Amino acid sequence: MTDTVLSIRNISKSFGGIHAVRDVSFDVQKGEVLGLIGPNGSGKSTLFNCVLGQLKPDTGEVRVNDQTVAGMRAAALNKLGVGRTFQQLSVFPQMSVLENIILAGQEHQGTMATRLFGPSDAGLTAEADQMIKFFRLEHLRDEMAGSLSYGQQKLVDAAMAFMAGPSLVLLDEPAGGVNLTMLANLKDRLRAYNREHGTTFVVIEHNMEFVMSLCTRIIVLAEGAIIAEGTPDEIRSNQQVIDAYLGG
C-alpha cells in the first residue's frame, strides 16, 4: 500500500477541436493539501470532472486509493472514500442542517434493508452532532438549510463532504462568494480537519490568499497543461505563472 491517494496519469480531454486538458500527470500523497489554480478555461474543472468520473478522459488513467475510477458513478466513488464540495450551493434546502449531515453519512451505514428497518437517523445523530460542532454550526442544527446565509450553507456543504470519513476531498471553489469572516472560519476548519484526520484535499480556487495559505503544494494549469508546480512561495515567484495568471 503506497501513500498515494490520487494518481493522475497522462490525462487528455478534448471537446471538438478544443483541447481542454493535455497530457496532465501528477500524484497527491496522503495528508497533502494540493491547490489547482489557473485562469478560466485552463482545464481545472474538466480535470476535476475526469477525476470524479463525470467525464471520460480521451486518454490516461485516474486512480484513487490504487483503484482505477474510469466509468465509476459518483455514488461508488464516494463509497471508495472520495468526498467533494460543489462550486454552487449544494445543500438540501428543505432538510434541517442535522438531516443534511446525517444524509451525508447514512449510505455508508449497513445495507439497504437495515437502512429501511433500522433507526431513522441510521445511528448517526451523535456523529453528526460532532461534525456540526466541529464546523461551529451548533446554533443552526435544527434550522432548514435553505434558510441559512450563503456562507453558512458553504460550511454545511463542507461538513457534509467529511461526514463519511473520506480519504480524499475535492473542494471546488470553496471560498467563492464567502465573506472574509466566514472564509477565515472555513480555512481554520479545513486545516484542523486535515491536521486531525490526515485527509487529503485537492482545492480548485481563484482566491489566491485563501489557496496560498491553505495549500502545501500548488499546480498551475494554463491552456490545459501544467505550467508550474511547487510550494506557494515558489508559485508566487514563478515568472511563467505571473505572466499567465497572477499578473504583475
Partner 1 sequence: MKRAHLILALIGIAVLILAPIGQKNYIIYVLCSWLMFSIAAMGLNLTLGYAGQVSLAQASFIGIGAYITSLLTLAGYHWVFGWLAAMGATFVIGLLLGYPALRVQHHFLAFVTLAFNTIVFLVLRNEEEITGGSFGLVGMPRPEFFGIKTMPQLNFYYFVLVLFVISAFVFWWIVHSPWGRAFKALRENPIRAESLGVDTRRITLLAFAIGSAFGGGAGAIMAPLVQFIEPGSFALIHSLKILLMVVVGGAGFFYGPMLGAAVVIILPEFLRFTEGYYLIIYAFLVIVLMVYSPSGLIGLGSKLMARFRPKQEVRKDMAKGAQL
Q: Is 116 in the site for partner 1 (CB under 8 A)?
A: yes
Choose among 231, 188, 166: nearest CA to 174: 188
Q: Is 40 in the site for partner 1 (CB under 8 A)?
A: no
Beta bridge partners of 204: 36, 172
Amino acid (one-letter) located at 194:
N
Q: Is 198 in the site for partner 1 (CB under 8 A)?
A: no
Binding segment for partner 1 (CB under 8 A), chosen from 5-13, 56-64, 151-159, 193-201, is: 151-159
- Closest contact distance (angstroms) between CB of 182 and partner 1 is 6
Question: How many angstroms separate the CA atoms of 86 and 103, rounded?
Answer: 16
Q: Show contacts with partner 1 in window 56-85 (CB under 8 A).
A: 73-75, 77-79, 83-84
Closer to partner 1 by CB, 160 or 190: give it.
Answer: 160
- Closest contact distance (angstroms) between CB of 69 and partner 1 is 13
Count residues near partner 1 (CB under 8 A).
Answer: 48
Question: How many angstroms separate the CA atoms of 73 and 70, rounded?
Answer: 9
Question: How many angstroms separate the CA atoms of 134 and 52, rounded?
Answer: 26
Rounded to whole angstroms, what are the CA distances from 175 to 36, 117, 122, 158, 210?
A: 14, 40, 31, 11, 7
Neighbouring residues of 248: CB distance < 8 A, sequence distance ≥ 6: 242
The binder of partner 1 chosen from 120, 126, 239, 247 (CB under 8 A): 120
Closer to partner 1 by CB, 152 or 194: give it.
Answer: 152
The binder of partner 1 chosen from 1, 71, 181, 196 (CB under 8 A): 181
Choose among 53, 12, 9, 60: nearest CA to 225: 12
Q: Is 185 in the site for partner 1 (CB under 8 A)?
A: yes
The binder of partner 1 chosen from 64, 72, 102, 222 (CB under 8 A): 102
Closer to partner 1 by CB, 138 or 233: give it.
Answer: 138
Q: Is 177 in the site for partner 1 (CB under 8 A)?
A: no
Question: How many angstroms separate the CA atoms of 161 and 34, rounded?
Answer: 17
Rounded to whole angstroms, what are the CA distances from 106 to 137, 171, 182, 246?
A: 20, 21, 28, 42
Residues lying near partner 1 in the complex (CB under 8 A): 52, 73-75, 77-79, 83-84, 86, 90-95, 99, 102-104, 106-109, 112, 115-118, 120-122, 136, 139-140, 143, 147-149, 151-152, 155, 160, 163-164, 181-182, 185
